[in-house]
Amino acid sequence: RENFLKINKRETPPFNTHPVQLEKLAQQTLSRNGWLYASSNAGLSHTHLANRQAFYRHKIVAPQLIDTNERSMRTTLFGHQVAAPFGLAPIGINKIYHPQAEVPVAKVAGELGIPYCLSTAGSTSIEAVAQANDTGRAAKAEARVPDGPRFFQLYMPHDDELTISLLTRAHASGFTACMLTTDTWQLGWRHDDVATSNYAFYRGIGADLGLTDPIFKKRLSEKGIDPDKQPAEAATLWIDTIWHGRAWSWDKAVWAHKKWQEISGGKPFLVKGIQRVDDAQKAADLGFEGIIVSNHAGRQIDGAIGSLDALEEISEKVGDRLVVTFDSGVRGAADIVKALALGAKFVFIGRLWVWGLSIMGEQGVRHVLKGLLADLDILQCVGGIRNIGDIKKSLLQSQPKGY
């Protein structure tokens, strides 16, 4: 089995990976604004709680005396082999969390064979992130670890030339799948961010992904903004370009899908933010290759359902027509298994890796991810799960939806 799954039995772990401890440590490490940006949710955090509650109504009922000695957590995703059934959800402005921003995250993901997704709001250029991910891939902890897809997340500007430029750069840098986020035309009403004027804070943090784009540079010069002399104004224009507050509709998502397919030669395109069966069916009818059942970690609509509560019916209805993936609220291997049992093909984690990055940069991300891999390996060993394909609904005992 993969060497990297061997938990640190001989080394002293750098920090406790219990999610509550991770949050505490991240809070201690980050600036007040940084902490509030990462931890804030929409409204009263009701949906953030609902995301967790949804996991608690499913419990694992593990079969005993199964020979799990030859086990594997590998699976396939869009025709790629992947080392594990989870990847890194897109999270922007990584300079808030660490001076090296996205670079260590992409590198460690590559090292461990865990699919990485870059956000359009990234503080690093598309090209530099791809290079970091390639560096990690080249230095793999385990030679047989597969590479998997590399995702680019799109916040779609109201500027087609710019969108095409971003997609072209992503394809040229070896991103093999695109995901369009549809729940965030603007940031949700997050009291903590509003109270601390965080919108001004993160605008000043760094928006290199945008500032390195040739079309965006053209827009800056059209407006007479010199990014060397007016970095805050330039960053503000970028943030206002991607979180513009003007909603797109399905026809534009179809346009982006078509453009991505033309540019990439037919690579997959996913719609991120689906919570309704009818939307999932629409995505399938329109020919999208995948969806992410997600509510953005509860940061957009407070009072929305727990994301896991949307998953089962969506998987049942469209799981044979497109690839159903999941995020929002995953905090450990048992959560990953529950989501897979409810029909997800693949799961993304968000805040877990952000806390690791915040606490200890590259080492922190590595520690969190290796911990999650070890957690899943142990769960497979003691839970009778030889292969990811063994994870079925019958592994769960479930209570009715809601709380």
- Structure tokens belonging to residue 61: 């009922």
Neighbours of 16 (CB within 10 A): 13
CB 71 within 8 A of CB 386: yes
Among 94, 198, 264, 328, binds ligand FNR (CB under 6 A): 328
Tell which positions 220-279 bind ligand FNR, by CB under 6 A.
Answer: 272
89 binds ligand FNR (CB under 6 A): yes
Element holding 118 (H helix, E strand): strand 117-118
91 binds ligand FNR (CB under 6 A): yes
CB 45 within 8 A of CB 304: no
Give whichever of 58 and 296 is closer to ligand FNR, judged by the CB atom. Answer: 296
CA-derived radius of gyration, the chain: 20
- Structure tokens belonging to residue 96: 């808030």
CB 368 within 8 A of CB 376: no
Q: If you search the block for the tokens 């989501």, which residue do you land on?
A: 339
Q: How far apart are CA 385 and CA 314, in angstroms?
A: 24
Among 34, 87, 90, 383, binds ligand FNR (CB under 6 A): 90
Among 168, 275, 294, 358, binds ligand FNR (CB under 6 A): 294
Among 5, 38, 42, 205, binds ligand FNR (CB under 6 A): 38
Q: How far is the CB of 90 from ligand FNR (least distance, A)?
A: 4
CA neighbor of 89 nearest in space, from 127, 119, 113, 110: 119
CB 146 within 8 A of CB 122: no
Is residue 296 part of the annotated active site? The answer reads yes
Tell which positions 175-204 bind ligand FNR, by CB under 6 A.
Answer: 181
Q: How far is the CB of 164 from ligand FNR (least distance, A)?
A: 19
Give whichever of 123 and 140 is closer to ligand FNR, judged by the CB atom. Answer: 123
Give whichever of 71 and 241 is closer to ligand FNR, judged by the CB atom. Answer: 241
333 binds ligand FNR (CB under 6 A): no
Which positions are annotated as active-site residues? 296
Query: Under the rule (CB under 6 A), what is the footprint of ligand FNR?
Result: 38, 89-92, 119, 121, 153, 181, 272, 294, 296-297, 299, 327-330, 349-351, 354
